[in-house]
């Protein structure tokens, strides 16, 4: 087994181990991922469930990410068989041929909304990708992952830059309480590093490059619920000097990666990079945040979007903000576009060429 999680209950100062169990039906795991795809570590918009390919195969779940890339999600109960990787690659070969219009229609039917409304409801981004399916990804989901599958994934990502990962959702039960714990075969930041390195080279490369010291911050990846559900307000972030993330523990943890002195570049879905600056204050809950150079709380200042302050009574669901001293910002129409875009909310920038381009554009 490549990854395992141990859980213990603390009872009167004693540690009592909790044994991992088995999900009674694979369909339960599929139901959970469909209803709460955030458990996979990012926001995804579902395209379909049990999607039949032209070759007789059936994709468990098909989704798109915030950049419009298709994500093939394969779920298997218990230990993952070695051939699941080959199966997923076969499905990706079919998915890669799906047309933009077909995907938009499928998303509209799956979500009972127009594509644009479904996208905005899920990602909260005003800027919608002009083209879907410019790239494809694979997520293999299981309650346990065998070493052989992990080794294959390691080889494909490191040597060939294939965007594939394994998410292990370990199942536990304590009395009537059911628990899920998540681990990855490959840390998402490391996967980003490998994909970026491979994209910038014509042949397989050694990805052991130094970090550039710069951070990528996706403004709109978790925009649901902010500004009446249509995304975070970049004009206010650049005006008052901050970046925000939250509405869930996953995204609170993301923004907490940033420290005072870090150089960060703001990325807006569909527009590209729109600003660069230096972090001047660490993550603070929105209702307590004071913008740089101000003597007032943000909530006391003129704002177009009041959604920043949703769920402030819940530390996990609140919005969090970091202060930024912007060196330069631009309107979305002037954004610096890159391909492939970095996936995720807060990520290290490993690609030296991208780093040079951003420094030249924003300082």
pLDDT band at 316 (very low <50, low <70, confident <90, very high): confident
What pLDDT sits at residue 43? Answer: 84
Give the containing element (helix H, strand E) for 59: strand 58-64
Res. 90: pLDDT tops 80:
yes
pLDDT at 302 over 70: yes
Nearest to 246 by CA among 127, 323, 345: 345
Enumerate residues 6+ apart whose C-beta is below 8 A from 175: none
Residues 349-358 have a mean pLDDT of: 90
Domains recognised in the chain with CATH numbers: 7-186 (3.40.1350.10), 214-362 (3.10.590)
Backbone angles phi and psi of 216, in degrees to 5: -100, 135
Cα gap 48→326, rounded to integer Å: 41
pLDDT at 79: 55
Question: Which residue carries 């779940």 as its tokens?
Answer: 61
Over pLDDT 90: what percentage of the chain? 38
Q: What is the mean pLDDT of the chain?
A: 83
Give yes or no for residue 195 having a pLDDT over 60. Answer: yes
Segment 213-267, tens digit of pLDDT: 999 998 874 334 344 443 468 889 999 999 998 877 777 888 988 999 999 999 9
> What confidence category does residue 150 fall into, taking pLDDT thresholds of 50, 70 and 90?
confident
Six token digits for residue 344: 């995720």
- Check pLDDT > 60 for residue 207: no
291 or 134: which carries more pLDDT confidence?
Answer: 291
Average pLDDT over residues 104-117: 94
CB-based contacts of 128, cutoff 8 Å, min separation 6: 116, 119, 120, 269, 270
Predicted TM-score (pTM) of this structure:
0.61
In this structure, the number of other CB atoms found within 10 A of the CB of residue 140 comes to 25
The predicted pLDDT at position 164 comes to 92
* Contact (Cβ atoms closer than 8 angstroms) between residue 217 and residue 267: yes
Cα 6 from Cα 28, distance rounded (Å)? 22
> Which of 116-136 are b and which e, b meaning 16 or more Cβ less than 10 Å from the residue's Cβ?
eebbbbbbbbbbebeebbbbb
* Cβ–Cβ < 8 Å for 198, 156: no
Residue 109 φ/ψ region, left for φ over 0, alpha for ψ in the -120 to 50 degree band, beta for the rest: alpha
**Angle 222-63-267 from CA coordinates, rounded to 5°:** 35
The rounded distance, in Å, linking the Cα atoms of 345 and 280 is: 19
């Amino acid at each position: 087994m490549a990854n395992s999680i141990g859980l213990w209950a603390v009872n009167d100062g004693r540690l009592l181990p909790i044994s991992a169990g088995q999900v009674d039906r694979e369909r339960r795991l599929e139901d959970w991922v469909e209803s709460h795809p955030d458990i996979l570590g990012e926001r995804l918009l579902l395209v379909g469930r049990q999607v039949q390919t032209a070759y007789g195969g059936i994709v468990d779940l098909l989704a798109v990410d915030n950049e419009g890339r298709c994500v093939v999600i394969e779920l298997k109960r218990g230990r993952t068989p070695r051939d699941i990787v080959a199966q997923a690659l076969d499905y990706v070969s079919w998915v890669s041929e799906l047309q933009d219009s077909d995907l938009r229609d499928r998303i509209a039917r799956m979500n009972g909304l127009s594509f644009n409304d479904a996208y905005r409801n899920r990602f909260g981004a005003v800027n919608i990708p002009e083209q879907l399916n410019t790239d494809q990804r694979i997520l293999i989901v299981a309650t346990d992952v065998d070493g052989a599958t992990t080794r294959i994934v390691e080889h494909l990502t490191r040597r060939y830059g294939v965007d594939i990962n394994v998410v292990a959702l370990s199942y536990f039960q304590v009395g009537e309480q059911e628990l899920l714990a998540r681990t990855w075969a490959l840390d998402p930041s490391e996967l980003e590093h490998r994909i970026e390195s491979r994209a910038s080279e014509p042949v397989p490369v050694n990805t052991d490059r130094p970090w550039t010291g710069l951070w990528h911050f996706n403004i709109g990846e978790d925009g649901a619920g902010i500004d009446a559900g249509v995304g975070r307000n970049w004009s206010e972030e650049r005006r008052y000097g901050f970046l925000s993330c939250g509405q869930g523990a996953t995204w609170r943890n993301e923004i907490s990666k940033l420290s005072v002195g870090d150089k960060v570049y703001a990325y807006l879905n569909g527009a590209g990079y729109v600003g660069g600056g230096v972090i001047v204050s660490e993550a603070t809950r929105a209702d307590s945040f004071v913008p740089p150079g101000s003597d007032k709380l943000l909530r006391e200042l003129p704002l177009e979007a009041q959604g920043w302050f949703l769920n402030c009574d819940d530390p996990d669901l609140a919005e969090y903000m970091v202060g930024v001293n912007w060196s330069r910002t631009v309107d979305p129409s002037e954004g610096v576009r890159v391909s492939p875009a970095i996936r995720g909310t807060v990520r290290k920038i490993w690609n030296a060429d991208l780093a040079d381009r951003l420094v030249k554009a924003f300082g």
